[in-house]
């Protein structure tokens, strides 16, 4: 489904990803862990086509097709979704208005008819239940004044509405209380599907207790230095990253 082949990427001339290779099969959940500044958010943004980053080598393919020449919205139309580590606050843009526009853009790209306001609201209500998102948030400006946890809830809510093929979840657990963590992890679990892959970036085993990955990778200094199964995350939790760095 998603193939990253020897990806090199830089920002403002500084190389951040230095030959990153990773393959996600359809329906798989992969966890990525790594120390601060290793390049995890960079990886997410590069997959989504953030204009600040330049890919200087390698390839990123979704279903065999390179994403590299595509604009961020074209990638979204092909089913790429990213939950932001730091969701942006956008005053004056209502969450529901924006999400309806986004959903209809994605539906049009998939060859599906647009949803009208009534059908959209119905769908939105249903998906809000999945992540226990308070209804009021839908009428507020996008993320404006949302608490850290509400922002993350809103990200997973949007994922549920947009039904992406590939979801990159960049620290969806940061800033969440224990109950919210359980709820959102359960929401994401419910979205696991045979034709949907997920790349789950986290610092903590805690998330992976709920959202058990098929594979775990350790990203250090712009490369995947170790891959394993779900138990690798437990090793990181107890031992940190030094032993991997040394072994690598």
Partner 1 sequence: MSAPYQAAFEAVADALPGNGSWRRAAMQGLTFPGRRDEAWRFTSAARLLATEHAPVEGSVELEGAVPLLEGPRDAVAKLGRAAGTEGFQGLNAAFFRGGALVHAPAGARVGPVRVKLGGADGLTTPRVLVVAEARARVEVLVEHTLGSGLHVPVIEVFAGTTASVSLTHVVRGEGGHAVVRIAADLGRDARIDVRSFVLGGSIVRVELTSTGQARGALDARGLVLGRGKQHADHHLELQHASPGMASHQLFRNILDDRARAVFTGQVTVAPGVTGTEATQQANTLLLADGASAVVRPWLQIDNDEVVASHGATVGRLDDEALFYLRQRGLTVSEASRLLTGAFASEVVASVPDAFREELQAAVDAWLA
What does the binding site for ligand ATP look like in residue numbers (CB under 6 A)?
A: 11-12, 14, 16, 34, 36-42, 85
User: Which residues, numbered 198-227, are part of the site for partner 1 (CB under 8 A)?
Assistant: none
Distance between CA atoms of residues 136 and 94, nearest Å? 11
Q: How far is the CB of 222 from ligand ATP (least distance, A)?
A: 8
Angle CA 186–96–98, to nearest 5:
105
Indicate whether 99 belongs to the interface with partner 1 (CB under 8 A).
yes
Encoded tokens for 63: 């279903």
Judged by CB under 8 A, the stretch of 69-77, 121-129, 177-185, 202-210 that binds partner 1 is: 69-77
Are 227 and 217 within 8 A, CB to CB?
yes
- What character string, x for contact with partner 1 (CB under 8 A) and - otherwise, covers 119-158? ----------------------x----------------x
Sheet with 65-66: list strands edge to edge: 14-24, 2-11, 53-62, 65-66
The window from 15-23, 58-66, 98-106, 216-224 that contacts partner 1 (CB under 8 A) reads 98-106
CB atoms closer than 10 angstroms to residue 199: 25
Which residue, chain included where needed, has tokens 């790209």?
A: 109
Task: Tell me: does residue 166 bind partner 1 (CB under 8 A).
Answer: no
Cα separation of 131 and 146, whole Å? Answer: 15
Q: Residue 12 Cβ, how far from partner 1 at the closest point, in Å?
A: 14
Our finding on whether 105 is near partner 1 (CB under 8 A) is yes
Q: Name the site residues for Mg ion (rule: CB under 5 A).
A: 40-41, 85
């Amino acid at each position: 489904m998603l193939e990253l082949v020897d990806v090199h990427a830089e920002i403002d001339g500084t190389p951040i990803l230095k030959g990153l290779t990773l393959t996600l099969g359809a329906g798989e959940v992969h966890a990525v862990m790594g120390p601060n500044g290793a390049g995890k958010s960079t990886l997410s943004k590069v997959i989504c086509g953030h204009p600040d980053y330049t890919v200087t080598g390698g390839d990123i393919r979704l279903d065999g097709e390179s994403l590299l020449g595509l604009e961020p919205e074209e990638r979204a139309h092909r089913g790429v979704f990213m939950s932001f580590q730091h969701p942006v606050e956008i005053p004056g843009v209502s969450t529901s208005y924006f999400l309806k526009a986004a959903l209809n853009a994605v539906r049009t790209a998939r060859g599906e008819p647009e949803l009208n306001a009534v059908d959209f609201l119905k769908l939105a209500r249903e998906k809000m239940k999945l992540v226990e998102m308070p209804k009021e948030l839908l009428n507020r400006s996008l993320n404006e004044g949302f608490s850290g946890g509400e922002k993350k809830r809103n990200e997973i809510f949007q994922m549920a509405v947009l039904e992406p093929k590939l979801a990159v979840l960049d620290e969806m657990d940061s800033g969440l209380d224990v109950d919210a963590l359980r709820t959102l992890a359960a929401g994401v679990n419910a979205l696991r599907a045979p034709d949907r892959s997920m790349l789950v970036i986290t610092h903590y085993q805690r998330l992976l207790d709920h959202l058990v990955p098929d594979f775990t990778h350790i990203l250090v200094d712009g490369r995947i230095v170790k891959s394993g199964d779900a138990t690798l995350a437990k090793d990181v939790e107890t031992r940190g990253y030094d032993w991997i760095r040394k072994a690598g």
